[in-house]
Amino acid sequence: MTDIYQDQPLRIAGHAFSSRLLVGTGKYKDFDETAEAIAASGAEVVTFAVRRTNLGQEAGQPNLLDVVPPERFTLLPNTAGCYTAKDAVRTCKLARELLDGHKLVKLEVLGDDSTLYPNVVETLAAAEELIKDGFDVMVYTSDDLIVAKELERLGCCAIMPLGSLIGSGHGIQNPHNIRLIIEQAGVPVLVDAGIGTASDAAMAMELGCDGVLMNSAIAHARQPILMASAMKKAVEAGREAFLAGRMPRRQSADPSSPFAGRING
């Protein structure tokens, strides 16, 4: 069967992706599970963190970049764990050096330990500096339309509002805000953070998001590889449902079978 609809690729900063599911690499039990989950998810964009090397115990240890080779995936170094613009900018520069000049980064600047809520003041400052320095910035932010528009004005190549708190699995708590951002943004909008299960991912896509980024929902599932497969399908299903256009909601019932020709008529 041929595809009934050939979707456009997701375009971000000159890259084109057929998968609209982006995944993280944290919280897996080992690199084998990481690799299998990423394969099952079909993701082409994979995010990772930058941390100090463990001195003295590094030689011969497997490296994450062996599991997600830059030749096969579009790598998205992130600034998770940064609480200031300065630390986030330093982290991005280290990532660029680590990946031989790679420009695409996921900027996140956090506000506090318990909520990991984005500090948008520091995020805006970091975005401005990174973009001036030539980075392509996909930015994690709150679901605030005005902040999203300002991040786009600064030149961010994708806006990534939270669905709910990082790692919470609470899904999309304010779909109306996400929709407002989608309606007004001129760059791709991806829900990043909060996805708990497949229906959350489908909902994000049905709202009209260009993609979804997740980590915990897959890594912390009882069977991560099966959940990765479920998320692949959910993102595809949600995208197709968005493109198809849902039926109008009605207050009353509307039978699917015709009234005419009933035997009791």
Q: Does 94 bind another protein (CB under 8 A)?
A: yes
Kindly state the helix (H) or strand (E) to which residue 246 belongs, with its residue range: none
Residue tagged active-site, from 106, 149, 232, 233:
106
Q: What is the C-alpha end-to-end distance of the chain, expressed in Å?
A: 41
Q: Mention every residue, 6+ apart, whose C-beta is less than 8 A from residue 115.
A: 165
Output 178 or 219, the one with its CB closest to another protein: 219
The distance of closest approach from Cβ of residue 19 to another protein in the complex, given in angstroms and rounded to an integer, is 17
Interacting residue with another protein among 12, 17, 28, 85 (CB under 8 A): 28
Per CB under 8 A, the segment of 51-59, 143-151, 152-160, 234-242 that binds another protein is: 51-59
Query: If we measure between CA atoms, which residue out of 218, 202, 120, 216 comes closest to residue 160?
Result: 120
Q: Does 71 bind another protein (CB under 8 A)?
A: no
Query: If we measure between CA atoms, which residue out of 219, 209, 134, 220 comes closest to residue 179?
Result: 209
SS3 state of residue 105: strand
* Residues in 115-174 at the binding interface with another protein, rule: CB under 8 A: 166-167
Residues in the interface with another protein (CB under 8 A) total 38
For residue 163, the cross-strand partners are none
Q: Does 18 bind another protein (CB under 8 A)?
A: no
Count other Cβ atoms within 10 Å, centred on residue 243.
13
Interacting residue with another protein among 40, 43, 45, 80 (CB under 8 A): 80
SS3 letters for 113-177?
A: CCCCCECHHHHHHHHHHHHHCCCEEEEEECCCHHHHHHHHHHCCCEEEECCCCCCCCCCCCCHHH
The distance of closest approach from Cβ of residue 238 to another protein in the complex, given in angstroms and rounded to an integer, is 20
Interacting residue with another protein among 42, 77, 171, 211 (CB under 8 A): 77
Per CB under 8 A, the segment of 91-99, 118-126, 143-151, 173-181 that binds another protein is: 91-99
Residue 29 to residue 36: CA distance in whole angstroms? 12
Output 56 or 258, the one with its CB closest to another protein: 56
Instruction: For residue 106, indicate whether it is catalytic.
Output: yes
Interface contacts to another protein, rule CB under 8 A: 24-28, 34, 47-53, 55-56, 58-59, 63-65, 75, 77-78, 80, 90, 93-98, 166-167, 213-216, 219
Residues known to be catalytic: 106
